[in-house]
């Protein structure tokens, strides 16, 4: 688990946790999601708090199959950073994955973009990326179009935060990554 960027042209599948793998439920959760109480150490120096998350065990299989079918690397792009690998990956049966870190700005909006965009840009270089997140804005889609025009194919896959990842999302990523 590192943040080291692979210099090859290997595509990356970027995954958020909250709102993507862990729907931010506004009502009764989907029957496919299982409740977990996790204690992420997200903020250094602060005590870890118990966080209630809902995870669908089938998402791990879907994401592994997507990575295998496309040859793309699964990468955490979440405020959970390396804690996703420690706590979420084992529950979903995901392999060891790099985690993009977001530094002092965290994941708060910057210059009208998703707060993760600066770190993702730095991490990805010119490799193709497919990014699952629930917090994209219009400026992010413009960024993705510019990256693609500059030779780094980029697909943003918006996920509804109260529903989370659905079968159509990996299918859309597969079509993009195999095109």
Give tens-digit pLDDT for 92-121. Answer: 999 999 999 987 545 555 565 567 888 899
Q: Where are the beta strands (DSSP E) in the chain?
A: 12-15, 34-38, 51-55, 73-76, 98-99, 129-133, 154-158
Q: How far apart are the first and last CA of the chain?
A: 28
pTM reported for the whole predicted model: 0.88
* More reliable by pLDDT, 89 or 46: 89
Instruction: Name which of 142, 160, 159 is nearest 150 in CA terms.
Output: 142
pLDDT band with cut points at 50, 70 and 90 for residue 44: low
Find out whether 141 and 131 touch, Cβ atoms under 8 Å.
Answer: no
* More reliable by pLDDT, 13 or 115: 13
| Three-point CA angle 7, 9, 13, nearest 5° | 100
């Amino acid at each position: 688990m590192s943040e080291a960027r692979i210099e090859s042209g290997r595509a990356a599948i970027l995954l958020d946790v909250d709102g993507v793998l862990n729907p931010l439920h506004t009502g009764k959760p989907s029957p496919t999601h299982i409740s977990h109480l996790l204690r992420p150490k997200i903020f250094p120096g602060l005590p870890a708090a118990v966080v209630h998350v809902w995870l669908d065990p089938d998402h791990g299989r879907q994401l592994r199959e997507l990575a295998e079918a496309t040859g793309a690397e699964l990468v955490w792009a979440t405020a959970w950073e390396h804690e996703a690998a420690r706590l979420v990956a084992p529950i979903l049966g995901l392999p060891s994955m790099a985690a993009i870190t977001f530094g002092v700005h965290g994941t708060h909006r910057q210059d009208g973009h998703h707060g993760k965009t600066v770190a993702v840009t730095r991490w990805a270089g010119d490799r193709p990326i497919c990014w699952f997140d629930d917090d994209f804005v219009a400026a992010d889609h413009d960024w993705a179009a510019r990256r693609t025009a500059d030779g780094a194919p980029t697909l943003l896959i918006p996920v509804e935060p109260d529903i989370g990842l659905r079968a159509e999302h990996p299918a859309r990523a597969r079509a993009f990554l195999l095109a």
